[in-house]
Amino acid sequence: MRRSFTNEPRRRGRRILSVIGCAAAAVLGAAAGAASESRGSSRAPLWDVSGRWDGFNGAEYVVFRQRRGGRLDVTVHHTCAPGHVEHGSGRISAGHVRGRVEPVSQPPPPACVRFATIDVRVDPDGRRMRGSYTTDRGSGGLLYIGARRARSLVRFRPRITRARPARTLRVLLRPRPELPAGVKARVSLCRVRSCSVHNGHYGPLFKLRGRRCGLFVARVSFAGARASTRRRICA
């Protein structure tokens, strides 16, 4: 019986294309997942802003209660009327706080607004929030001063490594979540009683002094968050 092999190359070609297509889909899926994870990390809250924050003009103060995932319960006490309270919800993403509140008692007193939105950012030291507000009657600038500093949610995993030029060490901060652009942590590197201090965002450099072996201790601090590491190095 005669057999035909004319379709075999086509079948092999289809199989090869199918394998390539599956591999490409896997690579694209992994890349998309990594990008999504990166975006999620950048939106993770950097602060726990729970507590009382006083308005700069004395007309109000706001109380935040922060929950998992950055969700916020927002309560505003305003002097537009005796005992006037506005309540709502919001969210903190990285250091960006947004929220909306409405009067608890409806209808509101004539001197009070029907709603207000808050759009502020936490200062790098965690002691103030700056931004703007919007109501049914207008908008303007907003400054809140914390009764206590916001608690940093950044966790550091520092590491001491050698760097260039020669006789230079780098202290890698390795924060999670990542520090926002422009924000720096305080970093000290000590050997015995000799210490050097720098501020850095990624990994500040330290010049070695002396040529002996020694135990180096690095300490990182940022808005109340602290971490340390140590390593024995010969200069």
CATH for 158: 2.60.40.10
- Same domain for 52 and 146, yes or no, is yes
Closest CA to 204 of 233, 142, 161, 155: 161
Query: Does position 167 have pLDDT exceeding 50, yes or no?
Result: yes
Cα–Cα distances in Å, from 81 out to 3, 4, 62, 132? 96, 93, 16, 22
Task: Give this prediction's pTM.
Answer: 0.69
Domain containing 89 equals: 47-151
- Do 134 and 187 belong together in one domain? no
Question: Same domain, yes or no, for 59 and 126?
Answer: yes
Do both 53 and 39 map to the same domain?
no
pLDDT of residue 12: 55
By the 10 Å C-beta count (0-12 exposed, 13-18 middle, 19+ buried), 66 is classed as: buried
Residue 117 CB neighbours (<10 A): 15
Q: How confident is the model at residue 165 (pLDDT cuts 50, 70, 90)?
A: confident
Q: Strand, coil or helix: what is 18?
A: helix
Domain count, the chain: 3
**Do 39 and 62 fall into the same domain?**
no
For the residues 178-189, what does the mean pLDDT come to? 87
Domain stop point among 136, 151, 166: 151
pLDDT at residue 10, as a whole number? 54
Residues 216 and 122 both lie in one domain: no
Over residues 66-83, the mean pLDDT reads: 95
Helix (H) or strand (E) holding 99: strand 96-103
**Residue 210 has what DSSP assignment?**
S
| 10-51 confidence digits (pLDDT tens) | 555 555 445 445 444 444 444 444 444 444 445 789 999 999
Quick one: pLDDT at residue 28? 45
